[in-house]
């Protein structure tokens, strides 16, 4: 039984390491990595509940979309730039 607990703990530890590395390599910016335009937040309720520090963003200029780390909000942030996922479809 002890070996099962040790193996399970190592699996959890590897999973935590992978999550930490993936989180660290996500860009923490509101600037598009391809064209340097501002990224627009896409509301994603499931992602927001499961992983709050990660956001789904979309570039209006080139169409890039992807996950980014939530950067600190700048002063004067406007909610009007937020596009809900339902409005896109």
Shortest separation between residue 9's beta carbon and Zn ion, angstroms = 42
Identity of the residue, 6 or 28, whose beta carbon is nearer to Zn ion in the bound complex: 28
Cβ proximity to Zn ion: between 16 and 82 the closer is 82
Answer whether 35's CB lies under 8 Å from 62's CB. yes
Interacting residues toward Zn ion by CB under 5 A: 32, 34-35, 37, 59, 61-62, 64
- Give me the least distance between CB of 36 and Zn ion, in Å please: 7
Contacts 24+ apart (CB under 8 A), 7-16: none
CB closer to Zn ion, 44 vs 66 = 66
Distance between CA 77 and CA 66 in Å, rounded? 21
What is the arrangement of strands in the sheet containing 65-69, beginning at the earlier edge strand?
Answer: 65-69, 54-59, 39-43, 83-84
Closest distance between Zn ion and the C-beta of residue 29, in Å?
A: 12
């Amino acid at each position: 039984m002890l070996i099962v607990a040790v193996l399970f703990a190592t699996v959890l530890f590897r999973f935590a390491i992978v999550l930490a590395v993936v989180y660290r390599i996500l860009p923490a910016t509101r600037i598009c990595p391809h064209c340097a335009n501002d990224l627009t937040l896409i509301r994603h309720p499931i992602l927001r509940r499961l992983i709050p520090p990660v956001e789904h963003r979309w570039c209006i200029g080139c169409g890039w979309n992807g996950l980014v780390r939530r950067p600190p909000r700048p002063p004067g942030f406007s909610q009007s730039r937020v596009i809900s996922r339902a409005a896109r479809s």
